[in-house]
Amino acid sequence: MGGRPDRGNPRVHLRLDPRILAGLEIVARRHGLTVHQVIYAMIEGYLAKVGGVAPHPPMNEELLNRVTITKLKALLSMLRFELDMLDIATVREKRLIDLDRAVQDLNRVAERSKSIEQRIKTYQALGYLCLTIDKLVLNAQKDEITQTTLDLEKRLELLKAPSP
């Protein structure tokens, strides 16, 4: 991670174990990011949890949207996994705050969008996310919640597709 310290972009040099670096490279490739972007996202996530304030990332709008969608897809995968392993009450307790944060992030994606088509697709995905939360809160059956998360992932794939 480079930059000019006198311009508010400090240099950070990390020395990583080769196994950790290999894992970061796999994650980066899987999500279409660079290793630096993955490390930055991890640090930003840590700062958001610990300090409540995260620095504004020096990323463009498209990259921020991709990161938000990738984080949401990871959350949905984790939610489906936990639904298979745990009871709904435990899942609800563990994931409602994360899902609420995802709603806020997805809403920011919609607000940043310059294209009306992209904004509509984002709000449709936001509707499916709210439907997922609704089913989780109202004690729906596990298979209903799982199906809703799968529908939401389909909507997220439409968001990743470039608009004509």
Q: What is the pLDDT of residues 99-119, one digit of tens each?
A: 888 888 888 888 888 888 888
Question: With a threshold of 0.95, does the pTM exceed it?
Answer: no
Does residue 123 or residue 11 have the better pLDDT?
123
Top CATH class of 61-160 equals mainly alpha
pLDDT digits 0-9 by tens, 20-70: 888 888 888 887 888 888 887 787 777 666 665 555 555 667 777 777 788
| Residues 1 and 12 sit within 8 Å (Cβ to Cβ) | yes
pLDDT digits 0-9 by tens, 73-98: 888 888 888 888 888 788 788 888 88
Rounded Cα distance between 151 and 130, Å, is: 12
Domain map of the chain by residue range? 5-50, 61-160
Q: What pLDDT, on a 0 to 100 scale, did the predictor assign at position 22?
A: 87
- Report which of 29, 5, 33, 1 is spatially closest to residue 15, judged by C-alpha positions: 1
The DSSP output letter for 53 is: -
Contacts of 23 (CB under 8 A, 6+ apart): none
Percent of the chain with pLDDT over 70: 80
| Residues 57 and 68 sit within 8 Å (Cβ to Cβ) | no
Helices (H), 51-141: 61-85, 88-112, 116-137
**Equal CATH topology for 5-50 and 61-160:** no
Handedness of CA 36, 39, 44, 45 (dihedral sign): positive
| Residues 27 and 38 sit within 8 Å (Cβ to Cβ) | yes
5-50 has CATH 1.10.1220 classification: yes
Q: 7 pLDDT exceeds 70?
A: no
Q: What pLDDT, on a 0 to 100 scale, did the predictor assign at position 130?
A: 85
